[in-house]
A and B are shown apart, each in its own frame.
Chain A
Amino acid sequence: MSTESGRIAKRFAALKAEGRAGLVTFITAGDPDLETCRALLDGLPAAGADLIELGLPFSDPMADGPAIQAASLRALHAGTTARKTLDLVRGFRTKDADTPVILMGYYNPIHAYGVDRFLADAVAAGVDGLIIVDLPPEEDEELCIPALKAGVNFIRLATPTTDEKRLPAVLQNTSGFVYYVSIAGITGTASADNAAVAGAVDRLKSHTDLPVAVGFGIKTPEQAANIARVADAAVVGSAIVTRIADGLDAAGKARPGLVEDVLGFVRDLAAGVRRARG
């Protein structure tokens, strides 16, 4: 499958036809345990997630705030590995052939797995894209170029510090969509000002035809709706992951009702996104 005709491109084309923005939801693979995560993953499309970002857990998530750091550690304690993350995707694909799944994480677990082997296994499992935080365009030969050759989208982050001069380099090998990080900072902390986000999206749109998703700091259905008015998709991560953490008992085990509560929150977010341009 080529990156131009894959699930991500199809999904954004469908959203455009519907005249609405998409909701991208982030959860960490294996958080809080593999079984609960599987149930969450399977329930996300029906709850209104248009695209799914699945965190590939890493011991040292240096671009993430406390919520996703904790999720990553929970997943690792539950025995999640890169291989088990791909198993989750494979299982999801037997039930859902259309919702794009993007793995998000850091390079070292893929480096340890072996780049070529990882890409082959990811394609076979049904992974559509990768967002690897610590691989800027300066390191494109490591994974970005091999991923594109393997038919896996490599989605790049653009940030408030990515200036006009740098933007073409950032966009050059980006495919699927562009992920605009709306604040200079880590995940799940401050929220950006709407006008600033709108300006940034316009700036990106003048450089690329790719859809623009906006994330970092979107915590409520209202904030998601505001983003959905100006961007092609809103990404929510830390707020969902915090909902997962809230559903754990003192021993860190999932309490009954966790999955339904988290999916209920996703439904609220999806409703926000869907009414944004109504």
Chain B
Amino acid sequence: MTRPNTYRSGPDERGHFGIYGGRFVAETLMPLILEVEKAYKEAKADPAFEGEIRQQLKQYVGRPNPLYYAERLTEMLGGAKIYFKREELNHTGAHKINNCIGQILLARRMGKKRIIAETGAGQHGVATATVCALYDMPCVIYMGETDIARQQPNVFRMKLLGAEVVPVTSGARTLKDAMNEALRDWVTNVADTYYLIGTAAGPHPYPAMVRDFQSVIGDEVRTQMQELEGRLPDSLVACVGGGSNAIGLFHPFLDEPTVKMVAVEAAGHGIDKGPLAHAASITGGRPGVLHGNRTYLLQDEDGQILEGHSISAGLDYPGVGPEHSWLHDIGRVEYVSATDQETLDAFQLCARTEGIIPALESAHALAEIVKRAPKLPKDHLMVLCLSGRGDKDIFSVAEHLGVKL
């Protein structure tokens, strides 16, 4: 494979990152997808749109959030100098809000009157319900019944924010089924509804658009690292479900050859424990077409989509953003995985050494740091995207640790 001049020019006009991406949607949706693409292209060229996003990210979300030197963890691991990008300090407690601010402003520009979204762990649902409250738009969140049962606090948050939470009873009743149901709603309510997708996946232009809105993470890291250390970081580590926090951190650095990037998928009970035991689409899946794009998927021989497993509801999705599939194939980003157990250990370690309770999603990236940092020199600058806070996870962690709350 020839090395491209830049890793940052994708996707092409038809939404392809190499062979991945595309627009695999029903004809009813196709005109809408083209409308979103056109509206986003125009908005991107309008300084007023960018100004409005910047203003809201500062005043409402609380950006920039810190690039924090995790000194105790660094000492304990005895190797690389570890920084946390503190996305968990954003309003609503995760990186998801960055994308929601951008997309709700786009929906308003397009004159849409109603917002729908899917959610797994509930973080994207909460962020969507939040911006809908802020901009006074009716909001319907699709959430699998299984996820509703294991994420009760977020369900109540969404309702407090005025959203309607629709339980999804099809399939395994998790994130992929919620996405199917959101697509069914969209196809039925094409005229007035905007689908606010929560990750860098789906039909073009969503993967590129969500990446652009999340790239504020990497842009800030670049500036902050320059201020703190006077140079670029040496490595970046982030968790990947759909992959929006990872692509947001990585994208601004893709053309910096000295910056190594590591994405951590959910290995669940272990990738060697069979196709239903994990949610690692790239490490343990193969390319296919689902939810509007070609990408790595968990699927059986017959092309039927499999239900992934992860301790983290936010990573429990059988696909991954198409740009990640491409970055994997060309070798620019290394894709690894962390098991449920490694994640639980890292979760507790972070709480005790840094006084930060991370989201279980982010704890997957922490688990990789625990493995990697000790082998690296002390002047190696490593950045971890602490994508969300773990308050939502304390009940499921307690259960796994055998603690009754």
Contacts and interface: CB of A to CB of B under 8 A. Distances in A.
A228 to B, nearest CB: 23
A4 to B, nearest CB: 23
Contact of A184 (B14, B28, B170): B28
A62 B184 CA distance: 6
A162 B188 contact: no
- Chain A CB within 10 A, most for which of B25, B176, B190, B288: B25
Nearest to B35: A161
A99 interface: no
Interface in A106-135: 106-113, 133-135
Nearest to A66: B170
A159 B28 contact: yes
Interface residues of B, number: 38
A116 to B, nearest CB: 15
A83 B302 CA distance: 9
Nearest to B306: A59
Given A60-B171, A112-B301, A162-B31, A134 B184 contact: no
B24 A113 contact: no
Interface string B185-226: 001111100000000000000000000000000000000000
Contacts of A270: none
B27 A162 contact: yes
Contacts of B290: 60, 108
A38 to B, nearest CB: 19
B289 A59 contact: no
B303 A111 contact: yes
Contact of B22 (A66, A139, A161): A139
Interface string B101-134: 0000000000000000000000000000000000
B304 interface: yes
B146 interface: no
Given A111-B288, A112-B288, A186-B188, A82 B302 contact: yes
B26 interface: yes
B289 A186 contact: no
A138 interface: yes
A122 to B, nearest CB: 15
B171 A181 contact: no
A184 B299 contact: no
A136 B26 contact: yes
A113 B14 CA distance: 25
B188 A184 contact: yes
- Chain A CB within 10 A, most for which of B22, B294, B302: B302
Interface of B: 14, 22-32, 170-171, 176-177, 179-180, 183-184, 187-191, 288-292, 294, 297, 299, 301-305
17 contacts: A60-B171, A62-B180, A63-B183, A108-B297, A110-B303, A134-B26, A134-B289, A138-B14, A139-B22, A157-B28, A161-B28, A161-B31, A161-B190, A163-B31, A184-B28, A184-B190, A185-B187
